[in-house]
Amino acid sequence: MAEAIERLTELFHRRNGPLDWAKTHFSTYEFHKFVLMMLTRRMLPDPTPDKPNKKKKQEPTTITLNGQQITASDHHKFLGVILDTELRFKKHASYVLGKGTKAANQIRRLGKTTKGMHGELARRMYYASVAPTMLYAADVW
Q: What is the DSSP string of the chain?
A: -HHHHHHHHHHHHSTTSHHHHHHHTT----GGG--B-------EE---SS-TT-EEPPPP-EEEETTEEEEB-SEEEETTEEEETTS--HHHHHHHHHHHHHHHHHHHHHT-TTTS--HHHHHHHIIIIIHHHHHTTTTT-
For the chain, residues with pLDDT lower than 70 are none
HSE (side-chain half, CA atoms, 13 Å) at 136 = 17
Distance spanning both ends of the chain, measured CA to CA: 26
pLDDT at 9: 85
pLDDT at 124: 93
pLDDT at 116: 81
pLDDT at 6: 85
- Spell out the domain ranges in the chain: 2-73, 81-135
pLDDT at 127: 93
